[in-house]
Amino acid sequence: MSLKPGKDQQTYVQDMLESARQAAGYVRGMSFDQFWDDHKTRDAVAMRLQVVGEAAQHVTAETAARLPHVPIQDVRGMRHRISHDYGRVNFRVVWKTVQEDLPPLIAELEKYLERQRVAAELARKIHGLAPEAPRPRQGPRMGM
Residue 135 lies in a domain: no
Residue 143 lies in a domain: no
Residue 134 lies in a domain: no
What digits encode the pLDDT tens for the residues 14-45? 999 999 999 999 999 999 999 999 999 999 99
Note the pTM of the prediction, 2 decimals.
Answer: 0.81
Residue 92 lies in a domain: yes
What digits encode the pLDDT tens for the residues 48-67? 999 999 999 999 999 999 99
User: In angstroms, rounded to a whole number, what is the distance separating the alpha carbons of residues 130 and 68?
Assistant: 32
53 lies in which domain range?
9-126
| Cα radius of gyration rounded to whole Å, the chain | 17
Our count of domains for the chain comes to 1
Query: Above 60 in pLDDT, residue 140?
Result: no
* Residue 131 banded pLDDT, cuts 50, 70, 90: low
What phi, psi does 7 have (nearest 5°)? Answer: -120, 140
What pLDDT does 144 receive? 42
